[in-house]
Structure 1
Amino acid sequence: MSSLWLIFLVLFMPGFLKASENSAGIYVLQWKAECQYNNDGQDIVLMLKHYYNAEFFIEYDSRKGKFSAKTDFGKIDAEYWNNNTQYIDQLHAQVDTVCRHNYEGLKEPLVDLKIVPEVAIITTKNSGGLSMLMCFVSGFYPPKMGIQWLRNGEEVKDDVVSTGIIQNGDWTYQIQLTLETVPKAGEKYSCKVNHDSLKEPLIVDWNPALSPSAKNKLITGAGGFVLGGIFIIVGLVIYLRNRKVATRIPVSQSEGLMS
C-alpha cells in the first residue's frame, strides 16, 4: 500500500480583500487543493480547503461530494456552493481530470522512488558512566521507516527515545533512535533498520572500539608511536655519523714516532 499527498497552494496577496481604502488592516484569503492517493492510486480523494486570515473556514471533500463549513463564517459559502450543482459536478470530475491524470506522471518519480538509507552509530558517555547509543538513519525515501535497538539479538524497548521522521528538505528523510544503557561485557548492541528500499533488514553492530573516545585514544597512541620512532631513527643516524667521523681522525707523525 502506498500513500501520496500532492498539495497545491494558492495565496491571494494581502490587500486584495480590503473592503475600502479607509478600512483598517490587511486581509488574506488562502485556497489549498490536495490530491490524496492511497492503495497504489486506486483510492483518490480531492480536498479543497479555504482559509481567511489563517482561519480554516470551509472544506470540500470529494468523498462527501459537498462543502462543509468549519466555522460560522463558512456556513454561507458552503450553502451557496452546495446549491451550485454545476460547480459541484465540475469538482467531482476533477478527481479524474486533475488528480488521476497527474498521478500517472508522478507515479514513477515519487510513488515508485526508493532511496536506500545511510546508517551510522554515534556514542557519547556522561559523567555517570551511562552510554548514549544513537542510531542515525538518513537520506531515505519513502518516509515509512522501521528502526530498533537490539541487545544480543533481542529488541530493547526500555530507555529508547526516537526523534520521529524528520524531513531533510530534498525529498529524503531522517530519524534518530537513542538508547541509554550501561554496556556490560559480552553484550552485543545492534541497530536494525527496515525500509522498502531494502531487500532484507539492515543490521549495523555497535563496536565500542570504534567509538569517538576509542578512536581518539587510538589516534593519539599511534601518533605518539610514530613520532617516537622518528626521534629514534634521527638519533641513530646522528650517532652513526659522529662515530664514523671519529674513526677517520688522522694520527700525526710525531705521535707515530713516540709510539
Structure 2
Amino acid sequence: MRWESGGMAHADPLTRPDGTPIRVLTVDDEPSLIELLSMAMRYEGWDVYTAASGAEAVKVAREAQPDALVLDMMLPDFDGLEVMRRIRTEDPDVPVIFLTAKDGVSDRIAGLTAGGDDYVTKPFSLEEVIARLRGLLRRSGATSIRPETQIVVGDLILDEESHEVTRAGEHINLTATEFELLRFLMRNPKRVLSKAQILDRVWNYDFGGQANVVELYISYLRKKIDANREPMIHTMRGAGYVLRPAAG
C-alpha cells in the first residue's frame, strides 16, 4: 500500500462530514497512471490510497475505509468486479468508478450491471475522472462542502474568514467589536434584535443598564455602513434594531 496525504485544495473543496479529507482508493497495475491520478486527487485536498492488485486493494480498503474507489477492470490476479464485490461485503455503499479499455463495451456493461456507479474509458482526462468522483461523492452523502465564508445582505458583504467588509464594492474598515456587531445583524437579516440580545451575543454579558454601549456602536456602524447610502440599519423604537437590504 502507498498512502499520500492531501495537498492544495480545490476552490470548492469536499471533505468528510467531520471535516477530515476525503479518502479515495485507486487500483491499477500501471504505476504511471496511479501517479497521475494520485497527483490530481491530492490537488483536490483528498487522501489517496493505492493498490496494484485485487488482493492488495481488498486489504487496503479494509484498513483505510475509503469514501470512493477507482478500479481498473483488468488486474493481475482478479478483475475489478471481484474487487468491488469483496469490498462491498464490508462497505455496501461505497461508490465505484471503473476504468475500462476504449473498446471494452462488455466490461462497461458488466461493471454497471454488477453495481458500479460510473465508468471512464482509457485514455481519459484527469479532469473528467475528478469531476465524476466529485459528483459521486456528493450524491453518496459521504461528503460536505466547506461552509461559505461570506454573509451577503443586499449589496453588503462580510467575509468571516478574511474579516473584510464591502458595500457596493467599496471596502469598509471596522474595529473588531464593530465587525462582531455587524456579523450578528447580518446573520439575522430582517429580524428585530433587542439591545439585550445584542449585548449578550457581542459583549457576552447580561443586560444591565449598558444599553448605551449598543446605541454607541450602532451609531458607529451607521456612519460606516449607511453614510451617504440608502440606510440598512434601522431602529425599532422600544424593540431594538434590524438590518434590511437597501430598498434600491
Structure-2-length-normalised TM-score:
0.24
Compare the two structures and name the one with the higher strand fraction.
1
Decide which structure has the larger Cα Rg and report it.
1
Return the structure number with greater relative CO, CA threshold 8 A, min gap 6.
Answer: 2
Structure-1-length-normalised TM-score:
0.23
